[in-house]
Amino acid sequence: MSIISNISQSKIYALIISFSLIFTEFYFFNWKTQFFVSNGYLIFNTIILFFFSLFLFYFLYLVYSKINLLISKKILKIIDTSIITLVLFKLIQIPFFYANVIDFKTLITIFLSKILSGNLFFLVSFLKILFPLIIIFIVLLILNNKYLDIIINFIISFSLVFFLFMIFDISKRSANIFYNDLTMNRSNMEKKVIWILLDEYDPSYIDNNFGLNLEFTKKIIDKSIIHNQTYSPSSATLYSAPSTLMKTQIKDLIFEDYKMKILDDKNRKIDFNIENTIFNTLIKKKFSFRIFSEALPYCTMLRISKNNCEKNYNQLKFYFDGVINTLTPIRYISKIHDFFNKRADFDINQLNNLKIENHQKIFLSKDLDIDTDRFADIIKSKDNFFYFHLFLPHTNNLGHLVSSKHIRDEFNMNAKTDTEHYLMKLKYSDFLLKKIFNILDKEKDVLLLLTSDHWRRVDSPNSAKPSLFIAKIFGDNRNYQLENSISNIFIPDLIMSFLENEIKTHEQLKIFLQNLPLYDYKKIHLN
């Protein structure tokens, strides 16, 4: 007997609605845990996903009712059990998302990492899904439909309870759905500043750390100003980047009403909004800007529209992401493909011997589809300030390969450890900086800033290290290396000084840096 034969028509329709709600709630509460998700993006994706799920499950019900009498009871039982297994797997995860402490899959990952050896650790990303599904499936088979009514009633009740929670949360978010375009009066100034924030770039690796040769980065330094004692406000991106943009030393973060505030060193709460950042100063001075980020969602955090900021998810073209990511296996296709993709093992000599001529398409951001050709087009615009916050060369602990499949493909090399992964991304960054330098080399009145938001934390989790700071005014090849201990919250002042013609040469830039107040790196916020 199938589920259709065992329950009433009204309960079937209730189940269709409940299944749709559970898949929608799974999506909503999962994304809700990401504090900086756009309210409009989340709400519209949730609504579209619910109605699409209703259509899908009703269509599947019609198909299922037709084949119900054509297949054996054993196959029907397997199909029924598989359907309920999938729904229960989604259902179990929802309370974990709602609690926002630790999610269910992470618990499974922790468990599996303790019982699997290092050679089998790559299976965790698949087993954290397959393992609970198999357990639920076996339990349902053992129950043998004995508690079918109880399970169905539980599914219906659960979906309705969390539907109320979801509606309550949406009602609070609905007041802040849309963003307004910024009005900027562009100046006739041709000067440009390009600030590339390289996430977790540790400058200590430039000097052949682990045997890595970053030849192009060293050549850029020979024609630039490098500051060897520049410290970020924090060891965490979420603290460091806003603090720098606000020119404010951060003590802590506070989240209120879907907004982020920083607590400064005088215990004052300051909103992280456009009015309190360098971007507002640029607007007041009639300089225009554009933001590109694959790291922090500045468009959402600062409520900036797509005309000034990428990646802005608060657009119609992204409102079907919930349907695609929840009801299709698209997220797993690349993982499966990557699993079977054979690459060479990591080899530092092979990495050092790679030739840049063999790598024409290098990306600033694969996620934003910005390669060096598009970068060249972007900076041709009449905007004065370009802010790129890239994931390069950031890695996660435990060797989790963040945003780097295209790098592994480009170099045809796998990384087994976090350090190997980090070295590969540094080498890719080296190629990227070379190509960017070539694009800008013939420019005039352009300042390129290469900085990082923090050092590589795994190397020094409990004490601060200097972050990257390289400054290059094109047309001036004088090299200076500075050693006075400073905080990089000066960067907005440096940018404005250049745009307002107070700094025109490396010599003037050097004097600016030397005159900054000494900074006690013990004040740095450590996460």
| Whether residue 110 sits in one domain with residue 214 | no
* Cβ pair 278, 245 in contact under 8 A: yes
Tokens representing 281 are 């100063």
pLDDT in tens, 343-370: 888 999 999 999 999 898 999 999 889 9
Q: Considering the domain boundaries, does residue 258 fall inside one?
A: no
The predicted-structure confidence for 64-106, as pLDDT tens digits, reads as follows 888 877 788 788 888 888 889 999 999 999 999 988 888 888 8
Assess if residue 62 is contained within a domain: yes
Q: Does residue 66 share a domain with residue 95?
A: yes
Q: Among 310, 307, 282, 283, which residue's Cα sits nearest to residue 296?
A: 310
- Domain membership of residue 262 (yes or no) is no
Query: What residues have CB less than 8 Å from 492, skipping those under 6 apart?
Result: 244, 245, 247, 277, 278, 281
* Same domain, yes or no: 418 and 448: yes
How many domains are there within the chain?
2
Question: What pLDDT does 336 receive?
Answer: 66
In a domain, 241, yes or no: no
Domain assignment of residue 91, given as a range: 3-176
Is the Cβ–Cβ distance between 500 and 462 less than 8 Å? no
* Pairwise CA distance, residues 524 & 527, whole Å: 10
- Supply angle C-alpha 26, 401, 455, rounded to 5: 110
pLDDT (tens digit, 9 = 90+) per residue, 31-42?
Answer: 887 767 888 889
- Flag whether 70 is in a domain: yes
Please say if the pLDDT value at position 400 is more than 60: no
Same domain, 371 and 489: yes
- The residue ranking higher by pLDDT, 473 or 301, is 473
238 located within any domain: no
Averaged pLDDT of the chain: 88
Q: What residue type is 277 in one-letter code?
A: T
CATH of the domain at 429: 3.40.720
Average pLDDT over residues 214-241: 94
Q: Do 53 and 82 reside in the same domain of the chain?
A: yes
- Between 175 and 416, name the one with better pLDDT: 416
Instruction: Look at residue 399 in the predicted model and tell me its pLDDT.
Output: 39
| pLDDT above 90 coverage of the chain, percent | 51
- Residues 370 and 504 reside in one and the same domain: yes
User: Same domain for 155 and 286?
Assistant: no
Q: Please give the C-alpha separations between residue 150 and each of 73, 75, 157, 430, in angstroms, as whole numbers.
A: 21, 23, 10, 60
Work out the pLDDT band at 183, boundaries 50, 70, 90: low
- Give the least confident one: 65-69, 217-221, 243-247, 429-433: 65-69
Q: Is the pLDDT of residue 119 over 70?
A: no
- Average pLDDT on 414-420 reads 85
Considering the domain boundaries, does residue 243 fall inside one? no
Task: Specify the pLDDT at position 106.
Answer: 84
DSSP summary character for residue 207:
T
197, 453 in Cβ contact below 8 A?
yes
Q: How confident is the model at residue 473 (pLDDT cuts 50, 70, 90)?
A: very high
Confidence of residue 398 (pLDDT cuts 50, 70, 90): very low
Out of 91-100, 153-162, 184-193, 453-462, which region has the weakest mean confidence (pLDDT)? 184-193
243 CB-near residues (< 8 Å, 6+ apart): 233, 234, 249, 250, 262, 489
Same domain, 324 and 457: yes
What pLDDT does 142 receive? 86
